């Protein structure tokens, strides 16, 4: 057992694999026998449905436009995909060995990055549709080794209509014993179908920098789990089971078991056995916050930060029909129309808003502009002051009626 763990610690395999397609029909699912590893993803996983549609297939295309390599990824925006660096690059062959401080020991060298236009994204749980978009620009940390830096962001050449996106963790580190949901397109031991699968409630075993004989070396920008992922899951997301935010992407893993390509199943090195224990490494996202923000600055928009509102929804002060379209989930009547508002925190609101109770809920409602008559009385000029009502029974400057209560935040 000790000897096998030493082999594991010394060298882990990156989890991408190539498509050995006999044809060139990108818009059809590979048939049995036409793909080198055609089993579905995630060890001991179950089928992934539309709830996981932020997880996507990321492929490398040949010069003829045929899929020639396969990974997983996750949409952080409808034109931004987070994945692994080795999924978008030509890398040194063989296993990858890294020290707990992130230094490369052997393998993992990046030879060159693929042209962004050779990268394609397929959305949905089945490999049966055309590419939803291709790459326009690829961002990475700038290092030439995968150790502690196996992460990349692909900015797409178009916005994917109706895309499901995921929130992302940028401020805090993953924690030991925190549970994640793994989703990906890699090989599996419990299904012969070709599609996306999932495995929930996988505990994080260690957060780097860390090293032990049972887990191996984990870099400062990485965390480790046990059994759960395999070839083809590279770049696939680790979602927090508590918040649904992406906390990492698949980098590498294995169990050190000897592999015989003529007889062993594709998943041999990904499944725990009596003699070999599987350990898998994810690259953390929070330690690459600047890279994420850089990508959004180029792509336009803002990330959906863990615990925050969906940035695609309307900000306070925007006209609304219901709370569903507002970031806060609150849509109230103000100044003769319905607008999105934020909840009032400790009686404080930003400039241009005032804290007002609406059906018992304190909200930051827009301050009514001076009326035309008052503006004329004040001599015009656009900056007239308005006095507070003379008594509690006085007519307020504007009425507020709660149109929608704060939407319940869903958890995964």
**pLDDT value for 129:** 64
pLDDT in tens, 362-401: 888 888 766 544 444 444 443 333 233 333 333 332 333 3
> CA-CA distance, 348 to 176, in Å (whole number)?
37
**pLDDT value for 31:** 34
Residue 374 parent element (H or E) = helix 372-377
Residue pair 4/276 in contact by the 8 Å Cβ criterion: yes
> CA-CA distance, 19 to 392, in Å (whole number)?
74
pLDDT in tens, 272-284: 788 888 899 999 9
**pLDDT value for 38:** 30
Mean pLDDT is lowest, of 47-56, 265-274, 329-338, 392-401, for 392-401
Give yes or no for residue 301 having a pLDDT over 80: yes
**pLDDT value for 39:** 35
The residue-averaged pLDDT of 178-189 equals 86
pLDDT in tens, 336-357: 889 898 888 877 888 888 898 8
Q: Comparing C-alpha atoms, which of 136, 91, 89, 134 is closest to residue 113?
A: 89
Distances (CA, A) of 112 to 29, 86, 87: 29, 10, 12
Look over the chain and give the mean of its residue pLDDT values, rounded to a whole number: 80
pLDDT in tens, 205-264: 999 999 999 899 999 999 999 988 888 889 999 999 999 999 999 999 988 888 777 877
**pLDDT value for 8:** 40
Q: Where are the alpha helices (DSSP H) in 225-307?
A: 289-299
**pLDDT value for 30:** 37
Q: Residue 259: phi, psi to the nearest 5?
A: -120, 125
> CA-CA distance, 340 to 322, in Å (whole number)?
8
Bigger pLDDT: 276 or 288?
288
The residue-averaged pLDDT of 84-108 equals 91
Quote the tokens at residue 255. Answer: 């169990």
Where would I find the beta strands (DSSP E) of 285-394? 330-334, 337-343, 353-358, 361-366
Report the Cα–Cα distance between both ends of the chain, in Å, rounded: 37
**pLDDT value for 383:** 32
Q: Which residues contact 4 (CB under 8 A, 6 or more apart)?
A: 255, 256, 257, 275, 276
Which residue is listed with tokens 């007002």?
356
**pLDDT value for 372:** 44
pLDDT in tens, 23-45: 455 444 333 322 223 333 577 77
User: Mapping DSSP to helix (H, G, I), strand (E, B) and coil, where does residue 294 land?
Assistant: helix
Q: Identify the structural domains of the chain with CATH numbers, from first to last.
A: 2-299 (2.40.10.120), 323-404 (no CATH)
Q: Comparing C-alpha atoms, which of 185, 20, 14 is closest to residue 110?
A: 14
């Amino acid at each position: 057992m000790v000897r096998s763990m030493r082999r594991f610690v010394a060298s882990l395999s990156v989890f991408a694999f190539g498509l050995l397609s006999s044809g060139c029909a990108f818009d059809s699912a590979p048939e049995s026998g036409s793909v080198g590893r055609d089993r579905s993803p995630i060890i001991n996983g179950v089928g992934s449905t539309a709830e996981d549609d932020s997880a996507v297939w990321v492929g490398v295309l040949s010069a003829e436009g045929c899929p020639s390599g396969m990974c997983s990824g996750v949409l952080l925006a409808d034109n931004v995909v987070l994945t692994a660096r080795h999924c978008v690059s030509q890398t040194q062959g063989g296993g990858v060995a890294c020290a707990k401080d992130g230094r490369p020991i052997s393998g993992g060298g990046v030879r060159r990055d693929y042209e962004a236009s050779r990268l394609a994204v397929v959305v949905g749980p089945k490999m049966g549709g055309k590419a939803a978009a291709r790459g326009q620009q690829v961002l990475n940390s700038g290092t030439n080794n995968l150790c502690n830096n196996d992460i990349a962001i692909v900015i797409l050449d178009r916005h994917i209509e109706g895309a499901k996106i995921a929130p992302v963790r940028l401020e805090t580190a993953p924690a030991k014993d925190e549970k994640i949901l793994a989703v990906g397109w890699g090989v599996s031991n419990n299904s012969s179908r070709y599609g996306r699968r999932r495995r929930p409630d996988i505990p994080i075993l260690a957060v780097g920098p860390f090293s032990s004989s049972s887990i191996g070396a984990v870099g400062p920008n990485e965390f480790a789990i046990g059994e759960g992922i395999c070839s083809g899951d590279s770049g696939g997301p680790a979602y927090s089971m508590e918040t649904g935010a992406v906390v990492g992407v698949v980098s590498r893993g294995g169990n050190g078991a000897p592999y015989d390509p003529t007889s062993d199943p594709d998943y041999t090195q990904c499944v725990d056995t009596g003699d070999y224990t599987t350990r898998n490494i994810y690259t953390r996202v929070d330690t690459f916050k600047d890279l994420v923000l850089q990508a959004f600055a180029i792509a336009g928009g803002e990330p959906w930060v863990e615990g925050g509102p969906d940035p695609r929804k309307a900000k306070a002060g925007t006209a609304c029909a219901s709370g569903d379209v507002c970031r806060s989930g609150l849509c109230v009547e103000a100044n003769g129309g319905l607008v999105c508002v934020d909840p009032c925190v400790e009686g404080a609101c930003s400039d241009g808003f005032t804290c007002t109770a609406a059906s018992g809920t304190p909200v930051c409602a827009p301050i009514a502009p001076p009326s035309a008559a008052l503006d004329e009385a004040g001599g015009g000029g656009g900056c007239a002051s308005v006095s507070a009502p003379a008594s509690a029974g006085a007519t307020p400057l504007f009425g507020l009626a709660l149109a929608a209560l704060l939407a319940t935040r869903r958890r995964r």
